[in-house]
Amino acid sequence: MKAYTLTHCTVADGPALAANNIPAFWADPHWVLSWRHRTLPYHISQVAKRYPRNLLKDRDTARHQKAGDPNTGAVVGYSRWYIPPSHAVGEGGKVAWEEAVVPGVGEEEEKEYIRVAEQEIWDNVDTDSHLAVVNRFESEILDRQPFMRALLECLLALI
């Protein structure tokens, strides 16, 4: 059995995360219908621009990890977790699960990541009349319990 490394993510991981994650979504026929006017390589290039901004969002409660191949260094997996705000800071003000917090960057660098992400083309086509219903149910589930967000996102990533 091959062993993998599990580490936190940094904003520099954006291109590798996009190259790893988007092909997984692309295999979902329902998901890819929204992007039928785009190629997989193009979509990966655009999502890579969003990752640094997304990794820096919600640093108080969001945690990000990547699995890597120790021989090649290639990213082979990714997980995003949300800690309920009530549990994000422990005794004595210590940040919970600090090793999975994405390291911050300077204010100007973060502004640049936001600017680049906002220029990225995100033009999915709503082709499924059931998508609104799915999104509504997802919101209802996520609103019930804070811990459900991490669980649901993990389950959706497996689809």
Scored b (16 or more CB within 10 A) or e, 108-139 reads eeeeebeeebeeeeeeeeeeeeeeeeeeeeee
- Is 2 exposed, middle or buried (CB count within 10 Å of its CB: 0-12, 13-18, 19+)? exposed
C-beta pairs of 88-95 under 8 Å, 24+ apart in sequence:
88/60, 88/61
Residue tagged 């949300």 (tokens)? 82
Joined together, the tokens standing for residue 78 give 């990714």
User: pLDDT-derived band of residue 159, with 50, 70 and 90 as boundaries?
Assistant: very low
pTM here is 0.77
Domain ranges of the chain: 5-158
Q: What is the pLDDT of residues 18-62, one digit of tens each?
A: 999 999 988 887 777 788 888 999 999 999 999 999 999 999 999
